[in-house]
Chain A
Amino acid sequence: MSSIHFGSSQWGELLKKEDWWSIWIGLGLLLTAILFFTSGSSIAWISVTPAKWHSLPELGTQLISNASRYLAQFVLWATLFGLAISFLKISFKDFLASFLFIYGVSVLVFALGQWDQADYYNLEPPLVALALGLVIANLIRLPKWLEAGFRVEFYIKIGIVLLGATLPFTLIIWAGPVAILQASIVSLTTFFVIYFVGKRLGLDRRLAATLGAGGAVCGVSGSIAIAGAVGAKKEHAPISISIVIFWAIVMIFALPIVARSLGLPTGVAGAWIGTSEFADAAGFAAAQTYGAYAGHVPGIEGSAEAAVNAFTLMKVIGRDVWIGIWALVLSIVATTRWEETGVAGRTNYGEIWRRFPKFVIGFLIASLAVTAISRGYDFAAYKSNVVPHLVGPIKNLRTWAFIFCFFSIGLTTRFSDFAKAGAKPFYAFTAGVVVNVILGYILSTQVFVDFWVKLGQQ
């Protein structure tokens, strides 16, 4: 057979991993925005988004009058993504055609969310994008080449880096420790519930650990990282991935609905979603959906941003960043205590860094940079100058990146292609889901409730 090897050169990774590309693109956009801002201008022109509208002719007029801005924005995204895609060895030609499709639909989804009746019909853009993608993927057989632009993780990582620019660094320092504490309690409990229920049901230890990490740490990424670290059977990761995706999609819809029926404040709901969603992209869809209820649904307190901020702190800072440590510990356990597989492994502490989700570095730098710039302004000047000319345009670009992501989740979720998981892995994971959701709810709404409510008021 022919083998293919992508070397492990650390410097090479700077151009070969999408985590690094999300940093280059996210921070590149932020740096450009800062340069424009400090020279008395703004990137607001190119970060255009659909405005509120009442009638279709009104929408048509605003889209046509801003056509050059949307065209310029498409060229900007296509150029930046295209550059990264080329280094990731994905066909630029295929990507461009695919991204044109994604961008076109995203404009329509974004515009639909701006309809003045959208709240009444619950047409939140994340859910509409996801549902539309699911319908297309499962009812229409799309050509393979069109899939080149469906890069869920890439878009969400860029969105997270841009999100850093809208999240004060002081808030990360203030809320980070509590998020880590809450997330650690839930992660450890969820992992051990899935692992031991899986073992009890007779599952291979490596499959049980792969499932456990999928539920406890970072969904699909957690499953794939731990499957590799423990040397799982080839079919273990796809089994875990199928179950993670199933529950992640259920939670995108279920968590906002339940939180809404309970009237949870946005910060509290964001924290709960952060502990009980299984994938970053899915969680952002749920958190952004819930944030949109603020000010529109009676009884839901807190700012719209608080749901996304609390989710980010909980999921990214509280759970994602620890994947390297999980991988190292489980690889040591697998090589020293579990049954032999014919493979030998060394304890390699460098794995902690190698598996570290690097986009988090971009997220922190973006937060630090905008926080430092904002220190020179009092609150009134911040609201009248920094928000409309720097933070606002970056937030708009972030929203675009998230919509590309949500639509791509739907487009890539073709249920018939997934691995058949079997009943036992499903039961083991579901046991973890039940414990996770209940524990996450108790910690978010009882134990740390004052903290998350306060976050929502900032």
Chain B
Amino acid sequence: MRHQEEVVLGRQCIHCRFFNNDPAELEKGMAGLRVMGSGHSSVVSNDGICSKLDRYLSGSYSCDLYERAE
């Protein structure tokens, strides 16, 4: 992972088409999350799953593969 200066504001994961942070989808995709946790919890913040990198990460991150969501 690279350092902060390389993050371009406005091109963060939260705006990317490969990023999904729908709580219902997170609960469906992460086995066991609903047992003693929740996709709707504050601790989840704006985290989501990047289908391009296959990573679960904060919506505040960014990368070179960014494509703006429609």
In the complex, which residues 266-309 of chain A have their Cβ closer than 8 Å to any Cβ of chain B? Answer: 279-282
Bound Cα distance A110, B37 (Å): 24
B37 near A228 (CB under 8 angstroms)?
no
Chain B residues, Cβ within 8 Å of A327: 43, 45
A154, CB-defined interface residue at 8 Å: yes
Q: Please report the total number of A residues contacting B with Cβ < 8 Å.
A: 79
Bound Cα distance A7, B60 (Å): 11
Among B14, B19, B20, B56, max chain A CB count under 10 A is at B56
Nearest-neighbor residue (CB-CB) of A234 within chain B:
B54
Least Cβ–Cβ distance between B30 and chain A, in angstroms: 5
From A43-51, A256-264, A343-351, A442-450, the one touching the partner chain is: A343-351
B1 near A341 (CB under 8 angstroms)?
yes
Other-chain contact of B60, A18, A345, A412, A418 (Cβ < 8 Å): A345
A152 near B47 (CB under 8 angstroms)?
no
Bound Cα distance A153, B44 (Å): 13
A338 near B1 (CB under 8 angstroms)?
yes
Chain B residues, Cβ within 8 Å of A358: 42
A241 near B42 (CB under 8 angstroms)?
no
Given A231-B55, A344-B63, are A413 and B7 also a contact pair (CB < 8 Å)? no
What does DSSP make chain A's interface, helix, strand, loop or mixed? helix
B7 near A224 (CB under 8 angstroms)?
no
B7 near A344 (CB under 8 angstroms)?
yes
Other-chain contact of B57, A245, A343, A348 (Cβ < 8 Å): A343
Chain B residues, Cβ within 8 Å of A231: 1, 55-58, 61
A11, CB-defined interface residue at 8 Å: no
Bound Cα distance A228, B23 (Å): 13
A236 near B56 (CB under 8 angstroms)?
yes
Other-chain contact of A233, B14, B19, B56 (Cβ < 8 Å): B56
B55 near A343 (CB under 8 angstroms)?
yes
Other-chain contact of B41, A153, A343, A345 (Cβ < 8 Å): A153
In the complex, which residues 56-98 of chain A have their Cβ closer than 8 Å to any Cβ of chain B? Answer: 88-90
Bound Cα distance A355, B63 (Å): 23
A224 near B44 (CB under 8 angstroms)?
yes
Given A3-B19, A220-B32, A417-B32, are A234 and B37 also a contact pair (CB < 8 Å)? no
Bound Cα distance A419, B31 (Å): 6
Bound Cα distance A113, B51 (Å): 48
A173, CB-defined interface residue at 8 Å: no
A399, CB-defined interface residue at 8 Å: no
A440, CB-defined interface residue at 8 Å: no
A342, CB-defined interface residue at 8 Å: yes
A323, CB-defined interface residue at 8 Å: yes
B41 near A346 (CB under 8 angstroms)?
no
Chain B residues, Cβ within 8 Å of A228: 44-45, 47-48, 56-58
A225 near B55 (CB under 8 angstroms)?
no
In the complex, which residues 190-233 of chain A have their Cβ closer than 8 Å to any Cβ of chain B? Answer: 218-225, 227-229, 231-233
Least Cβ–Cβ distance between A49 and chain B, in angstroms: 25
B41 near A221 (CB under 8 angstroms)?
yes
Other-chain contact of A6, B16, B22, B36 (Cβ < 8 Å): B22
Least Cβ–Cβ distance between B23 and chain A, in angstroms: 7
Bound Cα distance A13, B4 (Å): 26
From A180-188, A328-336, A367-375, the one touching the partner chain is: A328-336
A354, CB-defined interface residue at 8 Å: yes
A345 near B1 (CB under 8 angstroms)?
yes
Among A89, A223, A346, A356, max chain B CB count under 10 A is at A346
A221 near B19 (CB under 8 angstroms)?
no
Nearest-neighbor residue (CB-CB) of B4 within chain A:
A346
Given contacts A244-B36, A344-B62, 14 further A-B contacts (CB under 8 A): A5-B48, A16-B40, A17-B40, A90-B24, A153-B40, A228-B58, A229-B58, A231-B57, A280-B36, A342-B63, A343-B1, A343-B57, A344-B6, A417-B31
10 cross-chain pairs, A with B, having the tightest CB-CB distances, nearest first: A228-B47, A220-B37, A231-B57, A153-B38, A4-B22, A279-B36, A346-B4, A241-B32, A19-B42, A344-B2
28 contacts between A and B (CB under 8 A): A3-B69, A5-B19, A7-B14, A17-B41, A18-B41, A89-B23, A152-B34, A152-B35, A220-B37, A224-B43, A225-B44, A225-B45, A228-B58, A231-B56, A234-B55, A237-B30, A238-B32, A241-B30, A241-B35, A327-B45, A335-B1, A343-B1, A343-B61, A344-B4, A345-B1, A351-B60, A354-B42, A417-B32
**Chain B contacts to A: CB under 8 angstroms:** 1-4, 6-7, 13-25, 29-38, 40-49, 51, 53-65, 69
